[in-house]
Amino acid sequence: MPLRSTDSITVTSIEQDTHRLRHAFFFAAAFAGLLWLVKLAELAFHLNFTQFSVFPGRLDTLPGIAMAPLIHGSLSHLFANTAPVLVLGTLIIYGYPKAARILLPAVYLGSGLGVWLFARPAWHLGASGLTFGMMFFVFTIGILRWDRRAIAFSLVVFLLYGGMIWGIFPTAPHISFEYHLFGAGIGILLAFQLRGLDPPLPEKKYSWEDEEAEDDRPFDNQQGEQEDDKALRKRVCRIAVPGRYPDLALFA
């Protein structure tokens, strides 16, 4: 049975969605791979990259705003950030591709700048500022937009990483809650600013929906169509055919 037009559109839409999802996962995985490459190089060559991270107020650590998210204090620290980078990065690039171009660099650099300006005097490092910014962005924009995909993404993020909310408060002296706090704040702010940048995806319409719509037509409409058909038949020119069927009607 040949595909109907709506079926063809649906297949094309699924293929496009699959391509976008792979594209999003590739970039998220590439960044996560970079984090691991940095840590493995540090361990393999017995180096200490902490000096390249952010120390608030020190001018010589300003470049650390760009480098600190790539540096982690331990393997457990890196493990804790890897999964959120993969999941949240994929969701944002896939679900909000236009907003992601603004959000990701803004959170990446903005959270580090906030730390450099206002945080406690200590070395601050790790990708947590980025992950908190992404998490709060996805959750907030889902509430603001309230379309089906945005709500689904918000629910996924809340179920997986809802406990991260407490990370914006000071809980342990060795944890940079400031990085979390500034990342979250930028994520929320940009959710308000960018909520309309990526239009909601059009609702998919399947072939059986057309069939259901035809079956659900009111009886009056069907009767009217039958009457129109009878009137059309009356207007058809009848051709007298000699022989057995003298009144056969032919449609031109």
Q: Locate the domains of the chain by residue range.
A: 5-194
Write the pLDDT tens digit of every residue in 162-217.
999 999 999 899 999 999 999 999 999 999 999 999 988 665 554 555 555 555 55
Query: In angstroms, rounded to a whole number, what is the distance separating the alpha carbons of residues 129 and 245?
Result: 87
What is the structure's pLDDT at 241?
Answer: 46
The type of residue at 93 is I
Please say whether the dihedral angle defined by the alpha carbons of residues 56, 187, 139 and 97, taken in this order, is positive or negative.
Answer: negative
Whether pLDDT at 119 is above 90: yes
DSSP-assigned states of every residue in 37-58 = HHHHHHHHTT--GGGGSB-TT-
Q: Which two tokens stand for residue 73?
A: 């204090």
Tell me how far apart the alpha carbons of residues 14 and 23 are, in angstroms, rounded to a whole number.
Answer: 14
What pTM was computed for the model? 0.77
Q: What fold is seen in the domain 5-194?
A: Rhomboid-like fold (1.20.1540)
Question: Using one digit for the tens of pLDDT, what is the confidence trace for 66-110?
Answer: 999 999 999 999 999 999 999 999 999 999 999 999 999 999 999
pLDDT in tens, 223-247: 555 555 555 555 544 444 444 444 4
